[in-house]
Structure 1
């Protein structure tokens, strides 16, 4: 479901072109900030327990030739 609420006076253009999309992104850029630096700490191997895949996803991947054959 798409939230079509618009905050501000910008017209809602669902069939916009690239210029319209770039303008939307430029207006939203001020609302999204990234941290100056991202520090990743090493993880102890004892904390890594593997990957759990639900049975339905495993069957889906098994049916795909890139993964299952």
Structure 2
């Protein structure tokens, strides 16, 4: 059987402020790999199908001035 080492996570500071959040992010950043940037290609409208938006979400977006007006 393999002996897996488990590191206890740092205690979460649920009442912390922005400084606490930034510290958490700084500790986590070295653990994340940055993917290579690929070039985004346009998608033809004919390829977009099967997207369904619930009526409640559509009404919500329609009522938001940034999206509907």
TM-score by length of 1: 0.52
**Counterpart residue number, 2:8:** 8
Please identify runs of 4+ aligned residues in structure 1 that moved more than 4 A: none
User: Match of 1:28, SS?
Assistant: helix
Number of residue pairs matched by the alignment: 61
- Residue segments in structure 1 that go unaligned for 5+ positions in a row: 1-6
What is the CA RMSD across the aligned residues, in angstroms? 3.1
* Structure 2 Cα separation of the partners of residues 65 and 9 of structure 1: 40
Deviation of 1:11 (Å): 3.1
- Residue segments in structure 2 that go unaligned for 5+ positions in a row: 1-6
